[in-house]
Amino acid sequence: MNNKINTSAPTAQLSDVVKITESENSGVRSTSLTRIAIGYIVSGTKYLHHNDHSYAIEEGDIFILDAGFHYEENTIGANGRFEQITFYLSAESLQQAIVKLHINYNLSYTSRHSCSKCIATNFIATKAATALRNFFVGIDISLRNTGMLHNDIGQRIKINELIYLLLSGEDGCIRRKLLRSSDIETGHFIGTIYDNLFNDISIDTLAEFTNRSLTSFKKEFKRLFNAPPHRWIIEQRLERARIMLASTSRTVSEIGIECGFANISHFIKLFKQRYNETPASFRQKCSAQAVKGYNSAAVV
């Protein structure tokens, strides 16, 4: 079991493309994203743990992760490896790509799409269409041969191509997520929420951090997260606590504090209300086979 918490993060850039290769199952990882991640599973399976459910993303699937916290678990495939190619894009670089498509090709995109999948999860995953599969095969070859996408110009060209393929596809969930993520003001709002998610601060203070009145803050929060701020924040903290209880040896008090609960008795009460058992009784039910490990990493 790896209980080390890595709080360091590389310097922020507008965009990056990387290939992740692992030769053994990773266990559950808490990943903090400051940019959206657009990824493709080359081999193996990625599991995303969200709201008490596990979602499998298989070989040949494409996914988009919102900025924020995600609980991931990578498992190796038949070839003995887990392989994933991921583009990390800021709101600025995503917006630039969309503007380039409009200027160069007169392509404009809008979305009024809304469904339960869009609202309930902070990610989207689907089977990649043929054009997208071919695109990532080319990226894979380039990364294997050179370790990078040639140069900055070549990388921007590939980002524009990827965004075109995603926005021109038939998946309304993907289109909506990309267009929302390209909104710089929205990105700042969401980033502020996630930066302070596990800090012991009030809703009033969060509103001040986003330069909004309390009423305006609550309205915007409900629009983006489909829930009132206090309820949503408590749910996120309890979800993180539940995963840590199952996969680390930290004490209940340590976990409660790390997840933003200054009052441990209140944490225990909220946990029992949410899961119908105390943190201690939940931990007793967890086996080593259920969750093999917990790592915290920051990805910019």
Q: Phi first, then psi: give them for residue 101, nearest 5 degrees.
A: -65, -35
What is the distance between the alpha carbons of residues 189 and 60, in angstroms, rounded to a whole number?
33
State residue 6's pLDDT score. 31
Q: Residue ranges per domain, the chain? A: 15-182, 196-291
- DSSP 8-state secondary structure symbol assigned to residue 182: T
CA 25 to chain centre: 19
- Of the CA atoms within 13 Å of residue 212, those in its CB half-sphere come to 18
Low-confidence spans in the chain with pLDDT less than 70: 1-15, 119-120, 147-151, 287-300
Q: Are 94 and 179 in contact (CB under 8 A)?
A: no
State residue 7's pLDDT score. 30
Q: What are the angstrom distances between the C-alpha of 175 and each of 10, 89, 172, 296? A: 29, 15, 5, 30
State residue 149's pLDDT score. 64
State residue 12's pLDDT score. 39
- What topology is assigned to 15-182 in CATH? Jelly Rolls (2.60.120)
Tell me which amino acid residue 25 is.
N
State residue 15's pLDDT score. 65
Note the pLDDT tens digit of each residue in 181-209: 898 898 889 889 999 999 989 999 999 99
CATH number belonging to the domain at 196-291, selected among 3.40.228.10, 1.10.10.10, 1.20.120.1200, 1.10.10.60: 1.10.10.60
Please name the helix (run of DSSP H) or strand (run of DSSP E) that holds residue 33, with its range, or none. strand 28-33
State residue 156's pLDDT score. 85
State residue 218's pLDDT score. 97
Please give the structure tokens belonging to residue 180.
Answer: 């929302």
pTM of the model: 0.84
What is the distance between the alpha carbons of residues 188 and 184, in angstroms, rounded to a whole number?
6
What is the distance between the alpha carbons of residues 220 and 218, in angstroms, rounded to a whole number?
6
SS3 78: coil
